Amino acid sequence: MCGIVGYIGDKEVTSVLIEGLSRLEYRGYDSAGIAVYDNNDLHVRKFKGRLNVLADHLKEETLTGVVGIGHTRWATHGEPSDRNAHPHTNVAGNIAVIHNGIIENYMKIKEWLVEEKGIEFKSDTDTEVIAHLIDCYYEGDLLEAVYKAIRRMEGAYAIGVICKEEPDKIVAVRKDSPLIVGLGEGENFIASDIPALLKYTRKMHLIENDEVVLLTKKEVKIFNDLGQQMDREVFNVTWDAEAAEKEGYEHFMIKEIHEQPKGVSETLLRRLDKEEKVTLDGIKLTKEDLDNINKVYIVACGTAYHAGLVGRYAIEKFAKIPVEVDVASEFRYRDPFVDDKTLFIAISQSGETLDTLAALREAKRKGARVLSVVNVVGSSVARESDDVFYTWAGPEIAVASTKAYTTQLVAMYLVALHMASVKGTITEEQYKEKVNELKTMPDKIQKILDNQTKIQHLADGQFNNEKVFFMGRGLDVHVAHEGSLKLKEISYINSFAIAAGELKHGTIALIEDGTLVVALATQDHLYDKMLSNIQEVRARGAFVVGVAKEGNKEIEKTADVVLYIPDTLDQLTPILSVIPLQLLSYYIAVARGCDVDKPKNLAKSVTVE
């Protein structure tokens, strides 16, 4: 969640840190700060609020140092405030630390520091214990002191440390939280994500778990947890930094909604060979492998979890293998039945989602084969998987995920079709029908986007409605959950989603005059039943927005407004039906004056439990 940037070289460090942190604002944060070595001392500046608060204060003074660390904090321990913002220092102020993650045993360490060392804490954070702990072990060698400190620390963390007595170095550590190193000429960098550094370098080292890094302006050394130096190949970033710019759109979210035709096309076409057969590149799922699999687990969080629900349907429908879908944070703690006959599929946009990563490791420990669906090349989930299916959504900056979801859906359909083809559970005719229909999705998405004015007008009339729920049947239920999540996370409306057949089991009691109900009716075999459900809520005063396939005009007799999607196979409707829900959520949030790209309390990459 938190953003980390560090620099050592010859450039004026303050501008480098602010620029890097600005590229990480999508991660979600409530305060920002920097520590800079200048004029033989460490200078710490940190403030509650957006990054521009820090930047404005820095304009009023001159810090000309060339070594420093910067941080955007998402509060976990202690309220958002100046004193709880990072960096944190030891008592003498000669050691500064930034930290992403949670130190689980910080209270035990804090009690020891207070009772045995007499240290008075300045903040409520778990991070401050790191600075004091390093200080306790510091005897002139910062690297050695950091090693001794982390051996006492439990939890997940990426940290960056600088020291007044050793101003020619930065020490960084990674344990379960993302960390990369940028390589320059006479300068080097650390960051929690690639976009922070693309203005300065495309050459990166991807730091592995339990590794410690020593940076000077001339070199980078990577050590394992035993202190042994590690060799590491240079990872060259190929995507364009301009892809992370708004390009004239008001928000990243609406830009990314409009990038979905391209993302879906890229994800699909990169996986089809000349005969238009699904190829999974380096993923080897032979018939023997699949015959050995008796169960598939799909594990993810949030939007990726909703994509997994559709993935379950596709795999069971096409490949005839039983599938269970679980929220990663629950999977970790319920001792699921997983063995060497299990295929574990992890879905994550960032590839750094901590709960998903921990669930993956648990499944792997029990012998499962791990296939991951991720968007970020070289991410932790990707590196720790046996097989990787990369979506080609491109950088997704807005906190509310849109194009990652639709590309994840395409990925799951392709995996399911490949498995079905290899197992022989689908005919060649059925296979071609679905692949050919998938190829039409980019144009059909574009058609919905080209007619978004109606959705914008609908949002203008409903943005003050505080009672909203989504409903559907079959696959539409899963899309309803994703639509509800989009609305609540960016507009702060307390929406929820249900299976329409559950209406009479409690939910219908909430319907009253003016309640906004978004009813998905895209499944032909369930269409008439959905019309009945719409009549039930309309009879109790609901304002109903229907979502249906073009040609199914009967819904106009029961719904107040109908948003149509191009006709397609029932099994593939989620790729299309989610688009009007994304647009509706976006325009409602804009009408309410919400910070669409950076909704309160949320972060793009959830790297803590």
Q: Which amino acid, residue 250?
A: E
Q: Within 13 Å of residue 200, how many CA atoms lie on the same side as its CB?
A: 30
The whole-angstrom distance between residue 219's C-alpha and the CA centroid of its chain comes to: 31
- How far apart are the C-alpha atoms of 462 and 384, rounded to whole Å? 45
Q: Are strands 342-348 and 387-390 parallel, antiparallel or unpaired?
A: unpaired
Q: CB of 416 within 8 A of CB of 402?
A: no
Q: CB of 460 within 8 A of CB of 591?
A: yes
Q: From residue 443, give the alpha-carbon distance in Å to each of 232, 413, 568.
A: 42, 18, 12
DSSP classification of residue 272: B
Tell me the H-state helices in 45-141: 51-58, 106-117, 128-137
- How far apart are the C-alpha atoms of 196 and 227, rounded to whole Å? 28
- How far apart are the C-alpha atoms of 585 and 578, rounded to whole Å? 11
| Residues in the chain, total | 609
3-state secondary structure at position 594: coil
- How far apart are the C-alpha atoms of 534 and 471, rounded to whole Å? 9
- Look up residue 552 and give its two tokens: 């199914």
Q: What number of other Cβ atoms are within 10 A of residue 44's Cβ?
A: 17
CA dihedral 235, 606, 254, 466 (to 10 degrees): 180
Q: Which residues are catalytic?
A: 2, 604
Which H or E run contains 148? helix 142-150
Q: Which residue has the tokens 């906004």?
A: 516
- Look up residue 104 and give its two tokens: 């689980």
Q: From residue 173, give the alpha-carbon distance in Å to each of 100, 228, 229, 391.
A: 10, 14, 14, 29
Q: For 96, list phi and psi in degrees, rounded to 5.
A: -125, 140
Q: Are strands 220-223 and 67-73 parallel, antiparallel or unpaired?
A: unpaired
- How far apart are the C-alpha atoms of 412 and 73, rounded to whole Å? 34
Which residues have a Cβ under 8 Å from the Cβ of 586 and sit 6 or more positions away?
A: 251, 253, 254, 257, 459, 486, 490, 596
Q: CB of 578 within 8 A of CB of 483?
A: yes
